[in-house]
Chain A
Amino acid sequence: MDDRETILDALPEARGGGVPTLSVDVKAVPKSDLWERFVARLKELGGELRSLEDLAEFAGKAMCDVDVPQSVVARLREPATDVWEAKAGVTMAEFAVAETGSIVLSATPGRSRLLSLAPPVHVALVDPGRTIAGLEEAISKMGPETGVIVTGPSRTADVEGVMVMGVHGPRRLCVVPFAP
């Protein structure tokens, strides 16, 4: 008997019954001013709200994801080509989540997961019109593919509980409002 059969044999028969219906009241899910609330949470987490003009800071040092519009790439002049060397990774976010100050990224064809992860700065272009109230909606609207909800810059508190940003992922998360 292989392990699969052994385990399935050892498991009791299903008791059935319906999956419980969830009725949790989440205070933290806002009903209005979604973008403003998103920005407030993002800043609480140590994230930054920047403009397209601010991208000049990363000129020549940033690497852009495949679907970052040409108008943005142009601002970054001769972008970097090695994700491990780039000083910033520029990505297109699917949407923002007001409840948690998160942005949602999906691994659609051509895109790089590492751009939001390896460089010390992650610049995410987000359409403020695509701000979602709470997590339930965010998860249901994510595609079936691999994706990530990013909630603030990478951090650790392993050394004596002291908060340090940028342990493995980016130490800075810059959100740039961008309506295509």
Chain B
Amino acid sequence: MTRTSLWRALLVMALAVAALAVAGCGDDDDDGGGDGGGEQAAEVRQFPADTTMGKIQNRGEITIGVKYDVPPFGFKNPQTNEVEGFDVDMGRIIARELGVRPRFVEAISDNRIPFLQQGEVDLILSTMTINQERDREIEFSQPYYIARGRILVPQDSDIKGIEDLAGQRVCTALGSTYEETLREEAPDAELRLVDTYSECLELLQNGAIDAISTDDVILTGMIIQDDTLKMVGDELTTEPYGAGIKEGDKQFQSFVSDTLERAQRDGRWEDLYQEWVGQYIDKQENPPTMTLKQALALG
């Protein structure tokens, strides 16, 4: 190979790598689609530039951490390749209130709080249960959903409740509240801790574990995907979900709480509930009336 043809070959390769890198950097996260534009221009309240709300408005977009694999709260629709769900739509409500585009990123139970602390996301809406341990690291909004803990097993399982979990292999997410709950309530169960609930589902379906324990809505999402599974057991726990805000940012916390509360009062909450949850589990739920104080008192 001559020197010029060697340089040419290297140049072509470098350009190819650069082209791939640029293509890869394309935003494949949902950026709010069409409705970010016109409708709210008239009514959006402008916040002072030194508040978090003001800074978000200056940026023109709010970054929200949501789950990507927990239907029906946050999941990527395989056909449209966009993330959607109850949490996602709650995020859109908040974004609309600020008049900005919502940008969604994946937050798993393990990294969502560090993401918030480091400023990778402005807000977390990812089926996050309010508890005192987390409250030390971040601020919570008022509860926007109450889930109950249950157990999911295959159709032919003998497990009827938490008492039957002794000696069984139980899966839940690393860093979730269920890890603690299971250690306390079922100390003889063999825990398998994984990154995401979709991995738990895979393990249950291929027989590597005997049960999954987490919020009933997440379990419902699994039943939607695989109806040979059944939910058993009494309500293990009450899990009030709250939005996560950076520690110390009381202004943003009240803004988010107020926005969520308004949605609960004016019927938007009920619409979202019906669309994402109600139609699958045939239940009628009312918007939560629990306060943040009460939620923290639960644990």
Q: Do A and B bind each other?
A: no
> Could you tell me which A residues sit within 8 Å of B by CB distance?
none
Give B residues with C-beta under 8 Å from A: none
